[in-house]
Amino acid sequence: MSTNENSRFETRAIHAGQQPDPRNGAIMTPVYLTSTYVQDAPAQPREGYEYSRTTNPTRTALQENLASLEGATWGLCYASGLAATNALADRLVPGDHVVAGNDLYGGTYRLFTKVFQRYGIDFSFVDTTDPKALEAAMGPNTRYVYIETPSNPLLSLTDIEASARVAHAGGALLVVDNTFATPYLQRPLELGADLVLHSLTKYLGGHSDVVAGALVGNDDGLREDLAFYQNAVGGQLGPLDSFLVLRGTKTLAVRMDRHCSNALAIAQHLEQHELVERVFYPGLESHPQHGLARRQMHAPGGMVSFELAGGVPAGNAFASATRIFALAESLGGVESLVEVPPSMTHASIPPEVRHAAGLSDGLVRLSVGIEHVDDLIGDVNRALDAARRVLQTAKA
């Protein structure tokens, strides 16, 4: 039960980083619930394990698995996606500069502006879908170009290869948050990125039962630097959480196929409905970066955002009327979720900043799960009827 770099993705998802226990043949990676390890002599730990903040065998297995899936040489796992982002920022010093997308997860925006900006680190938020805007934002002190593609929540796509050229020409590293796409749909390192970030809470975990994050890359010096800060700050992932994510990656490919097919069907259905003013989904020909999606991604993903006629009241009515789509934050689990980003996941971004990025107050975001597509469309229709009643009441 071994894999190599020539094994297909689905095979590596199940086996990479994991071997049956040599003592008893247990096929699942053990959960090493230990804080410390007995050493053979002073300063002579076995296989490098001395303390679980620094290294843990269950976490090692997950890190090797994720590295294999992203086509990387190493991975580091953290207590959350934001802990992974924090680890990147720990490398910065006063006077450094970061260029980030203006359509960005609210927690990332909050971390950058409310935590690290006060330490003299500068952040510029620009439309990274436009390489010229990205290039114009670069400065002599730019250390990172930080992009989400697809972005959260407008599902805009940034050209990774073009962004890598801009970042590297300015002496910066390109970091790609690949949470929405996962390595099954998109592998940024192959397109020139230096680091890939994941909220493992989402599709890679896949079952809404764990909070975790990761960074993966190829530069050994960068890994050593990040591992130092991880150990010094203590943002590591615990062994049980590591086990849960390992369980999730095994079914990533089959889950993503269903997420994508369901999401496309719902996006097409919404686009034809008279109450829907605009649908954001890279798989639709109406999406401004549809061509880029076909070049850069294996499939367009399981997230759909849209705007309803009637704005906030209609959006709130829709999100409150579903029975299968649960009204909740987060995404990427097997169950379908609905939320309104301006008052939920992106509430930490000031309204004027959201509006400038094109995020309307009436936006609705769907994380389309793997239930039967006909049941999901029926649920969407039920919620659309509720939104229609709100509009009719407003006109009366």
Catalytically annotated residues:
53, 105, 177, 202
CB 138 within 8 A of CB 166: yes
Per the listing, tokens 């909050």 go with 110
Helix axes 311-321, 373-395, angle to 10 degrees: 140
CA 279/CA 286 separation, integer angstroms: 8
Pairing of strands 213-217, 195-199: antiparallel
How far, in Å, are 15, 105, 115 from residue 109 at the CA level? 36, 7, 10
CA 157/CA 167 separation, integer angstroms: 17
DSSP state of 238: P
CA 132/CA 129 separation, integer angstroms: 9
DSSP 3-state assignment of 93?
coil
| Cβ neighbours, 10 Å, residue 23 | 6
CB 302 within 8 A of CB 186: no
Per the listing, tokens 């410390």 go with 36
Sign of CA dihedral 314, 317, 321, 325: positive
Per the listing, tokens 């889950």 go with 255
- Using alpha carbons, select from 185, 211, 190 the residue that is nearest to residue 199: 211
Q: How far is CA 194 from the centre of its chain?
A: 16
How far the first Cα of the chain sits from its last, in Å, is 67
CA 252/CA 293 separation, integer angstroms: 20
